[in-house]
Structure 1
Amino acid sequence: MRVRPLATLSVVAVALLALAGCSSAGSPSASGSADPAASAAASLCDSVAASGAASDAVSVTGDVGSAPTVTFTAPLDVTGVQATTVVKGTGPAVADGDYVTIGYAGYDPATGKSLADYKSDDPPAPMVANSILGSAFGCGTVGSRAVITVPAANSNPAAVYVIDLLSSTPAAQWCQPQAPASGAPMPTVTWDDKGVPTVTVPSGQTPPTSVTEQVLTEGDGDTVQAGDSVTLNYHGIKWSDGTVFDSSWTRGQPATFTTSQVVAGFGNALVGQKVGSQLVVVIPPECGYGTATTSNGLGGQTLVFVISLQSTARG
């Protein structure tokens, strides 16, 4: 399972690969999520980490939105999460839950060497407290650049990140699902005698450019709310070639996660649906795994999910 990285991970547990949005899994969620209740209890504006000797020791030059020139004397003693604002942006302040785009680069505090070249093509992630973005910016302004140091935790090494806050979109406007337009091509779903779906993508048709969902069967159970923990079965294919990349039905066990722990298009499609419902959802790249190539092969892909909701519980 694949959680949207960066914003949902605890700042002391985030690894470089998680920050970069890499994963060996193809499905919409993964391990490593933060406690949603803890995130809700903290104020985004109050979540900014204090600056300290380590973050202040990092010198950064260059324009926001482009690769920075970073220098510091190694080894840098990273013993806690520290954040120093390098550039204060002049754009709008971000609010809790806003979807933000970022640029970032990572460095090894022990050697000063690059861990990740500057990257700015990941899909947007929600801005929440108790996250590396919350610790770097809080409710800061678009156009800001920050240095944040993250100590080693579990199997994740210590790291220094330079992060640019490039844009912000209110959650209510980001990747919200809509019904198929009249006459628009949609995948078809058939079920075998065990209730396992097969999905067929319309041949030669251009996929929708926004999150599009179609309710196949409407349930009569509780309605899923944002942040709920849901248990469901799902089956995911690529629109481009119909390849199945993950399926809880195939594994023989439903998945459980919160609506905020998955890619935006998947999570938003669940909100407002009733337990017992079955639906098909088409998710364009920017609402899934982004437009760039990723190690899991899902970057740049329009994804199709069949979902069968089994239960929901308040987060």
Structure 2
Amino acid sequence: MRRRSLILAAVPAGLVTLSACGDDKPDSSKASDSASPSAPAPSATSAAPPPKIVDGPLPAVTAGVKFGEKPTVAKGTGTPSDQLAVKTLIVGTGKTVVEKDVVQANLLGQLWDSAKVLVDTFAAKPQFTQLAPGASMDGIRYALTGKKVGSRVEFSVPPTWGFGAAGNTEAGVKGTDTLVFVFDIQEAFSPKSSAKGKNVPQSDAALPKVGTNTDGTAPSIVVPKSAAPTKLVSNYVIEGDGPALVASDSVLVQYKGVVWNTGKEFDSTYTRGAPTSFALQQVVKGWSQGLTGKKVGSRVVIVVPPALGYGDNPPSGSGLEKDSTMVFSVDILS
């Protein structure tokens, strides 16, 4: 499993691992080095060779047939394919999704035999799924790669490319169950995605200066040789024109974190090669407070004092010392 982002509080694994999303509630105020909530349970991936992509069979969508509408999907009839049955119900006109992209989508997932719904985000908020080995269910990765943003895709996932022979007891999935999904692909983000907007002057010499490059590489962070601020700092480096975040939002971000005293990097999505997603309720207080009210599309510099970070209890192996002040550059992608 992938190393957890250090900004995140511990998050329990649950049914959302079907889609590799990050909307679970935190069960601890401490950070952990376990998998990121963007990563699935181990049983959600396999070492099986790629499946054949076949046309069907697939259950009918009997209601909610438009993009963005909650679909009603009939119970499967007959024997499902032992390969990956995929059908594009609505062909989008946006960018083509490629492997390693993070897809933002609404989705419905249910069992073939009973039509029991396992996951439904249409009544809530879209989810983020990275289409990479070890980051999402193999069946989802193979079914969505090559599709266009704006598409509605229906597909069935046999156990080989789903939860395997062990199934998933927490989700109510047996080792013989075939899963059926409908994904409405709203957007796709690559490991090179970055902020978009207007540069904002960084004129305070007492605060870190962050690079304004938007080529997908990590921006520079230059920390001044002065005492760290004792209160939270959250300023625009690049101001986007998207909606302002509220405290209940989930976000997709690129970020880099350094220690104030040394300027040394200790955590970065650029180093890991993929954006990460989380709910603002899951992160350290400095992040949740610093990002609330900021616009999507922006790059923000956040200076997190110890009281709003990890204080005297930094995560083991993080490279952070007790009472470290952290500095982050954060690109709010979605």
TM-score by length of 1: 0.51
Tell me the residue number matched to 1:226.
271
CA-to-partner distance for each residue in 1:171-207, whole Å, 9 max, x for gaps? 312359x99841479999xxxxxxxx9962259x889
Q: Name the structure where helix makes up a greater proportion of residues.
A: 1
Quote the Cα distance in structure 1 between the aligned partners of 2:199 and 2:257: 6
Quote the Cα distance in structure 1 between the aligned partners of 2:181 and 2:194: 26
Show the 5 A alignment for 1:91-170: 91-119=94-122, 121-122=125-126, 124-129=128-133, 131-132=136-137, 133-144=140-151, 145-149=153-157, 150-151=162-163, 152-153=167-168, 155-158=170-173, 159-170=179-190
Show the 5 A alignment for 1:1-315: 2=4, 16-18=15-17, 19=19, 20-25=21-26, 30-31=34-35, 33=39, 50-51=53-54, 56-61=57-62, 62-73=65-76, 82-87=84-89, 88-119=91-122, 121-122=125-126, 124-129=128-133, 131-132=136-137, 133-144=140-151, 145-149=153-157, 150-151=162-163, 152-153=167-168, 155-158=170-173, 159-174=179-194, 181-183=201-203, 200-202=231-233, 216=260, 217-219=262-264, 226-227=271-272, 237=286, 238-239=288-289, 247=310, 250=313, 253-255=316-318, 279-281=326-328, 283=330, 286-287=332-333
CA 1:213 to 1:21, structure 2 compared with 1: closer, same or farther past 3 Å?
closer
- Which secondary structure state, in structure 2, belongs to the residue aligned with residue 135 of structure 1? helix
Which ranges in structure 2 are unaligned for 5 or more consecutive residues? Answer: 6-12, 174-178, 209-227, 241-253, 274-282, 293-303
Question: Is contact 1:248-1:254 (8 Å) kept?
Answer: no
CA 1:47 to 1:182, structure 2 compared with 1: closer, same or farther past 3 Å?
farther
Quote the Cα distance in structure 2 between the aligned partners of 1:117 and 1:84: 19
Q: CA RMSD in A?
A: 5.3
CA 1:166 to 1:49, structure 2 compared with 1: closer, same or farther past 3 Å?
farther
- Which secondary structure state, in structure 2, belongs to the residue aligned with residue 163 of structure 1? strand
How many residue pairs get aligned? The number is 231
CA 1:154 to 1:66, structure 2 compared with 1: closer, same or farther past 3 Å?
same
CA 1:112 to 1:185, structure 2 compared with 1: closer, same or farther past 3 Å?
farther
Question: Is contact 1:47-1:129 (8 Å) kept?
Answer: no
- Name the % identity: 15
Quote the Cα distance in structure 1 between the aligned partners of 2:205 and 2:116: 49
CA 1:175 to 1:129, structure 2 compared with 1: closer, same or farther past 3 Å?
farther
CA 1:225 to 1:182, structure 2 compared with 1: closer, same or farther past 3 Å?
closer
Quote the Cα distance in structure 2 between the aligned partners of 1:185 and 1:58: 62
CA 1:136 to 1:16, structure 2 compared with 1: closer, same or farther past 3 Å?
farther
- Which secondary structure state, in structure 2, belongs to the residue aligned with residue 171 of structure 1? coil
Quote the Cα distance in structure 1 between the aligned partners of 2:265 and 2:115: 57
Quote the Cα distance in structure 1 between the aligned partners of 2:58 and 2:269: 46
Quote the Cα distance in structure 2 between the aligned partners of 1:247 and 1:81: 47
